[in-house]
Amino acid sequence: MGSRGGLMKQKLQAGETVIGPFVIVPSMTLIDTLGHAGVDFCIIDAEHGPISMETAADLVIAADGAGVAPIIRVGDNDERLILRALDIGSAGVEVPQINDPDDARKLVHATKYTPLGERGLSIFTRAGDYFKGGSPGHTDRQNAETVVIGHIEGKRGLDNLDEIMEVDGVDVYFLGPYDISQSLGIPGDVRNPIVEEALVEACGKARNAGKAVGSYARDVDMGRWLLGNGVQYLAYNVDATIYMEACERFMGELRA
C-alpha cells in the first residue's frame, strides 16, 4: 500500500498539480466514478459528515481500485485517529488546526515510524499488506510514501507559517479558506479581498520556502485563481454538492 501516495508526492515535488474532491457520501460507487473522471485524489472526510473509519476503509479500497489516491481527513491532530486512518491503507492524511511548530511536530510524530516519528507499529493491517511475506521494508516505505497534509486554518497558523514550515515531514500546507475567513472576522466570505490577500501571502511564503501548498475551491473560477497563485494540491468542492448542482442544472434547463 501507499504507492499512490508515493506517486502523488513525486508529482508535487516535480511542481505538478493534483486535483480531487472532498467525499462525504459513503458510496463506493461514487468513488469509482471519480476514477473514470480522471481525478488524482479524493479526500475522505472523517471530520465533517457521517463517514466512520469502518466505512472509510471500504472507500479507500474503492479508490485504490479506481486509480484515485485516497486521502483521509481526520477530526483532530490525534495520534490514535491518524494511526487508524493510515493503517487502513490511505495514501495520506489531512490534519486540522496546525497553528504552530509544536502542532506540526506532533503531526509528523504521529505519521512517521522511527527514526522520524513514533507511529504505532502493526504490520498485520491493510497498510502492511496483512503481513504478506513479512511485509519487508514496510516502515521505510510508509515513511517515504505517505502524504502528510497539515491544515492552516486561522490567523495563528498564518502568522506562524514560516516557523511551521521549518518542521520537516509535512508534504502539503493546506490553506482552509472557510476557517481562515472565520478567523479574520468574515465567516464564509472566501472571495473577500482580505481572505484572498491572506491566501496569496501564504502561497508566496510556501513558494519561497520550496514547499507545496494546497487549498479548497468552491467553484472553477476560484480553482483557477488558486492554481494561478501557486496551489498544487487543489481540493475541488464536495461530492454531494457537485451532484446536487448537476441535478439543479439539468432540472433548470429542462423546466425552462
Residues catalogued as catalytic? 48
Asked if 94 contacts 43 with a C-beta cutoff of 8 angstroms, the reply is: yes
Cell matching residue 240: 454531494
- In the chain, which ranges are E strands? 18-23, 41-45, 69-73, 92-95, 147-152, 172-175, 212-217, 233-238
Cβ neighbours for 209, distance < 8 A, ≥ 6 positions apart? 162, 165
Between CA 220 and CA 107 the distance in angstroms is: 31
Tell me, what DSSP letter sits at residue 106? H
CA 24/CA 44 separation, integer angstroms: 7
Q: Could you tell me the end-to-end alpha-carbon distance of the chain, in angstroms, rounded to an integer?
A: 49
Give the whole-angstrom CA distance, residue 160 versus residue 69: 30
For residues 41 and 70, what is the distance between their CA atoms, to the nearest angstrom? Answer: 6
